[in-house]
Amino acid sequence: MLGRKKEVATRRNVLVHFHIFKNGGTTFDYALKREFGKGFAEYDGNQASSVHLPEEIAAYLVKRPKVRALSSHHLRFPLPEVEKSSLFGVVFLRHPLDRMHSIYKYERKQKSESPGSKHAKKYSFPDYVQWRLDRGRVNLLCNYHASVLTCNPREARRVPDAELARTRLKEVAVCGTVDQLEASLALAEQQLAPHFSGINLATTPQNVTVGRKPTLQERMNEAEKACGSELFADVAARNELDLDLYALAGRLLQERLHGLADGERCLEAYRKRCGQLA
């Protein structure tokens, strides 16, 4: 028994953030950098289309034993097994049509020579969306969350698996939504505290589009008006799985918050700590 306790004590707990493009990840990473300091690392490829296989994540962590929080735009599920380590995945989902408009606005202002940025600067919003659907990386706008959860282009797995996506969303250590980010992070602190004692995920908004509407409904109305109802409906139809996953993430968040004995107090305390950072 004593030997077993010693073995457990020597395990390394690592928080792994699947940083989905335009899903509030920079705001979350701001908290991780402050909380973990030199124990925080970013692991991204050289291109926007880069993808890291699970075994590459494992090799990266084995070579860097001091890393306790890892964030990457290019990670794909599942999390690997790493000797003497326990990995805790974190993923935030965003309404796909809200995300679509945010991507366009971001790429228009981005100082980049990427095809997406060039076309966003050249095209109106509906023309940009149509370009993405016709010739661009379609999955960036269509069922992209499902792709992150279940696909890996480097292994020719390109078609999202609906049931597997739902399962992984339910099983991941932390699942939140962008439009309820404060509640998501307040809950995440409670979920992660047994593995990261005293974890503080207070943060302030980072990389937010100037003039962003405050509510999801307002942003959706703005996106539909800018896109046009017919094209907007077409993109919605192509995001049937991601819309389902987004709804599931929202339900899981509310169920787990209500499952806390003092959920409201935790959320209020979290908001107070965030206010102290402003």
Name the residue ranges covered by the structural domains of the chain: 13-277
CA–CA distances in Å: residue 164 to residues 23, 74, 77, 161: 21, 19, 10, 5
Contact 135, 115 (CB under 8 A): no
Per-residue pLDDT tens over the stretch 30-62: 999 999 999 999 999 888 778 898 999 999 999
Q: How is domain 13-277 classified at the CATH fold level?
A: Rossmann fold (3.40.50)
Tell me the β-bridge partners of 12.
Answer: 85
Q: Low-confidence residues of the chain, pLDDT below 70?
A: 1-9, 136-138
Using a cut of 0.85, tell me whether the model's pTM lies above it: yes
